[in-house]
Structure 1
Amino acid sequence: MNTENENKALFLDRDGTINIEKNYVYKIEDFEFIPGIFELLKRYQDKGFLLFIVTNQSGIARKYYTETDFKHLTGWMLQQLEKQGIHITKVYHCPHHPSITGECNCRKPNPGMLNQAIEQFNISPVKSVLIGDKKRDILAGQSAGIGKNLYIQNLLQTGFE
């Protein structure tokens, strides 16, 4: 397969990876960026990676918050990242929960959100990286053929190297 003209991407989970994990974050006042995340994102962006967020948001299916609440917080988060010179190419989210809405292919550990980005943005999975905080993130990356699947906890302990 010719991957020469394909983009490389950094896929990031949101809760627990970009922001500190709290129960169902949907309000700006509850959103706290993980220390060091701006530097990490900037480093990948400077190396030519497109940045994507792929996040399960079962709080929508559970009716803890609405799609509008999610979009409002996402818009604010993207503005904060832009202020740091970080551009997120696209945010993908799964609003489903299997016991409420039934099975779907977008909820991690399924690779649906990753596959969608790979197709839409001509991404080489092998040249790409996924960073998450849970096993389901890593499994989604592996299922999509992502070259490197990393736990944020390990990166935080080693200073992102």
Structure 2
Amino acid sequence: MAEEIQEAVQIIRVAYDGIEIAMKVGSGSIAAMQKAIDFLKGMLDYEKSLGKTSMRKLLIKGGDLQVLQFNTEDMKKVEKMAKKYGILYSVLPDCNRKDGLSEVIFHTEAVPRVNMMIQKLKFGKIATFDDYLKNGDEKSLGKLMDFLKKQQGNEKSHTIEG
């Protein structure tokens, strides 16, 4: 009878050890899956925070906006560097083609990274939106208003119905 009890105890111990191992493996795979999901979510959030975007998305994000003025021929360099440095920006229409400058708008929180871009470009300056508007002529400002209306999108986005 003692042997039967020992066998029953051994069966219970093996079953318990099996359940314990299964729980460790199961929780490990769940934890790994959760880490993978967190990583993918982080990557999606990261992609939203850098590179070219619409003016509407910049405004929805909130905060103060600044304008970067640079030589028009440096546009490709600026786009590449903005993505590299993680700067969310929107290209503004050129209000004064005669000056040879192009402008992008970005959030004030990215000013230190934009300053690094200016150093690498060896030309450029940070201005306000008012400076950008003062630089343009009447015809170009009309084009700017059309551009902003196109960027506006859904009028109800900031209402309860939207």
TM-score range, shorter chain: under 0.3
Q: Which has the higher helix share?
A: 2
Higher relative contact order (CA 8 A, sep 6+): 1
TM-score between both structures, scaled by the size of structure 2: 0.23
User: Which one has a bigger Cα radius of gyration?
Assistant: 2
TM-score by length of 1: 0.23
